[in-house]
Structure 1
Amino acid sequence: MNSPVPFVERYGLHNDHQRAAAARSHETMKQHDIEVVRLIWPDQHGLIRGKALTVDGYLAALRSGAEATIAPFFFDTANTIAINPFTPDGGIGDPELAGLANMVMVPDPETVRVLPWAPDTAWVLCDLYTRDGMPFPYSPRHILRRTLERVQQAGYRFVAGIEIEWYLTRIVDDMLATGAVGAPGRPGDPAVVAPLNRGYNLMLEGNLDVVDDALRPIRRALVDLGLPLRSVEDEWAPSQIETTFDILEGVAAADAALLARQAIKHVARRNGHLASFMCTPGIPGFYASGWHLHTSLVDATDGTNLMVPGEGELLSELGRHYVGGTLAHAAAASVFTTPTVNGYRRRRPYSLAPDRLTWGADNRAAMVRVISAANDPASHVENRVGEPAANPYLYFAAQAAAGLDGVLNKIEPGEPSVDPYAEDAESLPGSLEQALERLTGDRFYREAFGSDFVDYLLTIKQSEVQRYNAHLAEHGPDGEYAANVTEWEHREYFELF
């Protein structure tokens, strides 16, 4: 009797590069005496989920995948079950997902990394599939892949550089012995922390030296993982750090952002620190953090940067239209770029964060900052709208889809602004609730990502907003922390992100 064809081969889920990488990963496991491999994937919030398998289990998963429950895709940020899976259509119009069915994790062997901080342990990112070999429809990595395929079909490739701000704090009390450990819909008490230095001293070298002992193992871990770290800087507020990474293409760039955030958090925690990518923690003296996304389109064949301006231009014609598309779809994209209630505290005038739809030449008040010079092959744009807790796959996909639409439909961005905070321009949504309203009626992202996915994400995020509004109705302004951040926000996001 013939053996059944293994899942990965049956559905053609690995290309030639991945098959070669799978063979190499056998040697990696032996060379580094790996005992367990964490099969990981990004969920709808940009959080890493997964399972730890033995090496034999990993090698089997390379052929047959490994099953896992789809349950995390039904949770909001507090593990509230936002969608009832125990209905005939699984709560989201798909009978195949009813009853919390399993999906299949298929390791992407090109992403195998040995963890510098966890002995005998490796990471590998997975793509998610249904049991019939179809991409799992709510996987953010799949949404980005599909978007980038359209970019490629149009003759371009999407490249991105990451500039992200975050907080590095010292744990004073982890609250595990004295605080609430949490329940579905209500996270546990967040750790009590203290900053590692004082603010506000942007790029003060002395502050960077104060935190060097805490940063050194983090820097080394990022480099040892093979992530293209470029800089680590002292940001404006106390204990606020900025890290930048060199450009990567498409999915690899989003993977790098996902893994960098997780690596920073893991290494910090093992050394008695807590790293948080929450936008505005409810801690006295802390300030909003941003995620500035640097992008450009290059020629799909030879990699030539297609945004480079000629003499007298701010950007090439293609680059200008890319900005036009970015601005045209920015309001609806807010759910992807700024997906938490807390992230909207950053959108204030004269705050180094954008509050309206503007672009400008090397202007940090504009939503889209153009960094260019005539005939400079490094010319590109920086979208300053995002928060550090954004899901990298959805942030990148939203940017790539909007920019491509601008290019294909020759959308003009209007004149660049010289005073963005005074510009008579449309305001960005001022809350997550407003952003959800804009996305609900938006035809563009429904076509780009599929209405089923958009409706699914809206349901998940509406659960978050409803719980926040219920907190306000019960506690009002008396529950506010520093910077007007509520106790609900700090509990919800500080340790999670």
Structure 2
Amino acid sequence: MTTENLSEEASAVLEAIDEENVDFLRLQFTDILGTVKNVSVPADQARKAFTEGIYFDGSSINGFVRIQESDMRLDPDPSTFAVLPWRTDSDSAAGRLICDVIDTSTGEPFSGDPRGVLKRAIARAEEMGYTVNVAPEPEFFLFEEDEDGRATTKTSDAGGYFDLAPKDLASDVRRDIIFGLEEMGFDIEASHHEVARGQHEINFTYDDALSTADNVATFRAVVRAIAAEHDLHATFMPKPIPRINGSGMHTHMSLFTEDGENAFHDEDDEFNLSDTAKSYLAGILEHAPAIAAVSNPTVNSYKRLVPGYEAPVYVAWSDRNRSALIRKPAARTPAASRIEARFPDPSCNPYLAFAALIHAGLDGIENGLECDDPIRENIYEFDEQKREEYGITTLPSNLGEAIDALEADDVIEDALGEHVYENFVEAKTQEYDEFRVDVSDWELDRYLEKF
């Protein structure tokens, strides 16, 4: 496969396609709601994909364009090439490239592409002299499938936090998932059973914000695919089982300056946090209710965000306990100083969630926002009067309230951009309206025979 007139990275991809005997390429992108889409092309179209792009009908993608504006183009990012681990047992393999979406009418990046939304947030940080590093911790459940291959909420283990086999019967599945992720270039730091039965966490190393968002999308796809090979269903639904802990995606963030210094670290500060870090933190707290619509975007998300199940609902920060919305984790080195936003969940679109968090933090820096002192007590044990005394507010209690907060927040609206904002709000308003008019089994069990 000729590599003339290609970038060095693209040429390396063509060589890897030949070496790995890749016969098909999945050109991947993400819709506004965070669902990964892909267009499959024969591997011999790779050169054309890099030089001309691959065209597709954008009107069929949720929230992209209207039918009369349907022609879109995928431009693959060569740095994202990976061989899919579940195809390597055969004589050939399938490869993956994550793409940017281009508006063919203008030749410019499509304003409705979530990856482009995050790129705009990163560009804003760069204009201010920063690069953004992110490290998420997406949790998930593994459930058994029924005889028809449909997902259940039955678990095959009785494990708890950090348990070992035989209680953690899914440890072999996690091992295979880790092997698959490593084959796709992930650097895995740790994996363990989480608090709830059937719940797991696999941590991978931090990276720049765009690479990390790409990794979250890849992570979810790999976890689901390899779980399916074990006849299990992996779900990133935040709260699939009532009255136990739900799944979060704690998101660690830091800014680095152009000379490679951690802008969040201050050796002389009591918490080793710089004024820049505190303003960034204050910006996230200021805009947290609106961010929640993006970082916790489903009706089910708010079943997790209730007191008593280790999920944060109180808009405050702490350097010690995990009851606050944002935590300052311990750091062994100056480079590791960071903040941890504990409220996002793994059902979110990572590109949009990271973009909202970044814009909120940068808004805090630009406006010199100051954060209150950290709350070192367990906020879960506060009554309403004490929370008022400390000035602690709460996140929205449902998706409807979160949408209202988003509609009232110009900073997060601007972070999403007009196209994404309008389509996102429309889709989520419809979702919440459908939920409000539905009648649940709980209501039938509670009221049908009583009244």
CA distance in 1, matches of 2:29, 2:321: 36
Report deviation, 1:168: 1.4
| Structure-2 change in CA distance of 1:202 and 1:303 (3 Å) | same
Corresponding position of 2:322: 364
| Whole-Å separation in 2 of the counterparts to 1:250 and 1:285 | 33
Aligned counterpart, 1:5:
none
Contact 1:238/1:285, CA 8 A, preserved across alignment? no
3-state SS in 2 of match to 1:172: coil
Percent of aligned pairs with the same residue?
28
Residues 250 and 342 of structure 2 are in contact (CA less than 8 Å); yes or no, is this contact kept in structure 1?
yes
Matches within 5 A, 1:486-497: none
Q: Which residue of 2 aligns with 1:447?
A: 414
1:253-402 matches, within 5 Å, as 253-282=212-241, 286-299=244-257, 301-314=258-271, 315-372=273-330, 376-402=334-360
**Map of 1:82 onto structure 2:** none
For the residues of structure 1 that align with 2:332 and 2:79, how far apart are their CA atoms?
A: 37
Equivalent of residue 435 in structure 1, options 372, 389, 402 = 402
SS of the equivalent of 1:142 reads helix
Structure 2 counterpart of 1:152: 126
Shift of 1:327: 0.3
Residue 158 of structure 2 is matched in structure 1 by 198
TM alignment of 1:19-418, pairs within 5 A = 19-74=7-62, 97-99=66-68, 101-119=70-88, 120-131=93-104, 132-174=106-148, 190-199=150-159, 201-206=160-165, 210-282=169-241, 286-299=244-257, 301-314=258-271, 315-372=273-330, 376-418=334-376
Answer yes or no: is the 8 Å Cα contact 2:158–2:167 preserved in 1: no
Q: Structure 2, unaligned stretches of length 5 or more?
A: 447-451
Distance 1:208 1:227, change over 3 A: farther
Structure 1 position 207, deviation (Å):
5.4
Over residues 18-40 of structure 1, what are the superposed CA-to-partner deviations in whole Å (9 max), with x where a residue is unaligned?
82111111111110111100001
CA distance in 2: counterparts of 1:285 and 1:346, whole angstroms: 9
Letter in 2 for 1:164: P
**Cα distance between partner residues in 2 of 1:448 and 1:432:** 19
The amino acid of 2:136's aligned partner reads I
Q: Alignment RMSD, CA only? A: 2.1
TM-score where L is the length of structure 1: 0.82
Contact 2:32 2:420 in 1 (8 A): no
Cα distance, 1:72–1:351 mapped onto 2, change above 3 Å: farther
Check the 8 A contact 1:172/1:194 in 2, yes or no: no
Partner Cα distance (2:130, 2:194) in 1? 34
CA contact (8 A) 2:190 2:202 kept: yes
Q: Quote the offset at 1:72 in angstroms.
A: 4.4
More displaced 10-residue stretch of structure 1: 24-33 or 446-455: 446-455
CA contact under 8 A between 1:296 and 1:381: conserved in structure 2? yes
Residue 170 of structure 1 deviates from its aligned partner by 2.4
Is 1:371–1:381's contact at 8 Å kept on the other side of the alignment?
A: yes
SS of the residue corresponding to residue 328 of structure 2 reads strand
Q: Is structure 2 residue 428 aligned with structure 1 residue 461?
A: yes
State the distance in 2 between where 1:375 and 1:211 align: 34
Q: Please give the alpha-carbon distance, in whole angstroms, between the structure 2 residues aligned to 1:207 and 1:408.
A: 52
Whole-angstrom distance in 2 between the partners of 1:409 and 1:194: 49
Secondary structure, in 3 states, of the residue corresponding to 1:340? coil
Q: What TM-score do the two structures reach when normalised by structure 2?
A: 0.90
Q: What pairs up with 1:464-483 in 2 under 5 angstroms? A: 464-472=431-439, 477-478=443-444
User: Cα gap change, 1:60/1:233 in structure 2, threshold over 3 Å: closer, same or farther?
Assistant: same
In structure 2, how many angstroms separate the alpha carbons of the residues matched to 1:431 and 1:271?
35
**Residues 208 and 234 in structure 1, CA contact (< 8 A), matched pair in contact too:** no
TM-aligned CA deviation for residue 285 of structure 1: 7.0
Distance 1:387 1:268 in 2: 20
Which amino acid letter does the alignment assign opposite residue 23 of structure 2?
Answer: E
> What are the Cα deviations for residues 381-432 of structure 1, in whole angstroms up to 9, with x where unaligned?
1000011111110111111111111112111111111233323311110111
